[in-house]
Structure 1
Amino acid sequence: DLFKNFADTFGITFREVIISKFAQGIFYGTLVCEDASGIKEIDSRTSDAIALAVRFNCPIFTYEAVLAAAGVSIEEEPDIDDLATGGIGSQPEGYDYDKFTVEELEEMMNEAIEKEDYERASQLRDIINRRKAGK
């Protein structure tokens, strides 16, 4: 939160986060930021990069080689409507996010970030954004 306030104050925006490397069981992240002087890339711990991406609402990317090295296989990307209704890639069957307020969802998202459960944090971020947009 402090870093987001700092960046906002000095006109720094986050364009994206890239999970750029996987070596010896460790992921490496890169923050892609922009200010009045141009685009900058900053090396970052992956956990910090993802936490900032969630707070700045910017996309998170990686490379197929990183996924392959980590042993991750993506067969189908879940649809946000499935996540919001308890479908693919979400909480256990019957789990209903509609019963939570936006504030409660934000608290759940922050807890997921603290536990480094970034997939759940990004799902919650998307649900919060949809709710705030009135969808």
Structure 2
Amino acid sequence: MEKIITPRPMTHDLFVSFAHAFGVKLKQIFIYKFEDGIFSSELTFADEERTVVLDARTSDAISLAMRTNAPIFTTKSILDETGFLMEEVGEASDDAGSEPDGDSALGKADETGFNHEPKLEQYTVEELERTLKKLIEAENYEQAAKVSDVLKRKRGE
């Protein structure tokens, strides 16, 4: 939550990097049940060929969603039972509460409108090279320059 980058990947960061390396994206999490004080959640992952839904601890699901900007859904009954209203302090910004616009990381949202890529600094050199190639092929030179800068830092250039 505090965007602290640790010297070595935490478990959730490792999981996100692993999924990314194999072309799997976290599409969403769904908190579907609250019973006896325990939330139950599902993670929906997808690649180009299939979609897989896995059961998960809600704390793990939220940690992964926060690292990938994946949307988090639940039911009205769960919100009615467990939710609370937060008091707004000061004026809200124009984009408060809006969906992620995909301007982080590679700067492009996928077909769902969400960016599910980990931060560029978390990419391996090989992943950065592949990403750079794709961005150049797509003539997205502004984002390619950003990837190139990270790649140079990783290589120590």
TM normalised by structure 1 equals: 0.53
1:80-111 Cα shifts (integer Å, max 9, x gaps): 61797xxxxxxxxxxxxxxxxxxxxxxxxxxx
**1:74 offset after TM fit, Å?**
5.1
Q: Which residue does the alignment assign to 1:54?
A: 66
Say which structure is richer in strand: 1
Q: Secondary structure at the match of 2:60?
A: helix
Residue from 45, 48, 65 that aligns with 1:36? 48
| Counterparts in 2 of 1:75 and 1:48: CA distance versus 1, 3 Å | closer
CA distance in 1, matches of 2:28, 2:81: 22
Which portions of structure 1, spanning 4 or more consecutive aligned residues, are displaced by more than 4 angstroms? Answer: 73-80
| Counterparts in 2 of 1:3 and 1:20: CA distance versus 1, 3 Å | same
AA in 2 matched with 1:65: S
Q: How does 1:73-88 map to 2 (within 5 A)?
A: 73=84, 81=93
CA distance in 1, matches of 2:74, 2:55: 14
TM normalised by structure 2 equals: 0.46
Q: Secondary structure at the match of 2:93?
A: helix
**Rg comparison, structure with higher value:** 2
AA in 1 matched with 2:60: D
CA distance in 2, matches of 1:12, 1:74: 34
1:7 aligns with 2:19: yes
| Counterparts in 2 of 1:28 and 1:80: CA distance versus 1, 3 Å | farther
Q: Which consecutive unaligned segments of at least 5 residues does structure 1 have?
A: 85-135
Q: Which residue does the alignment assign to 2:29?
A: 17
AA in 2 matched with 1:27: F
C-alpha RMSD over aligned residues? 3.0
**1:29 offset after TM fit, Å?**
1.0
Number of aligned residues:
83
CA distance in 2, matches of 1:80, 1:58: 23
| Counterparts in 2 of 1:26 and 1:82: CA distance versus 1, 3 Å | farther
Say which structure is richer in helix: 1
**1:36 offset after TM fit, Å?**
2.8
Q: Which consecutive unaligned segments of at least 5 residues does structure 2 have?
A: 1-12, 97-157
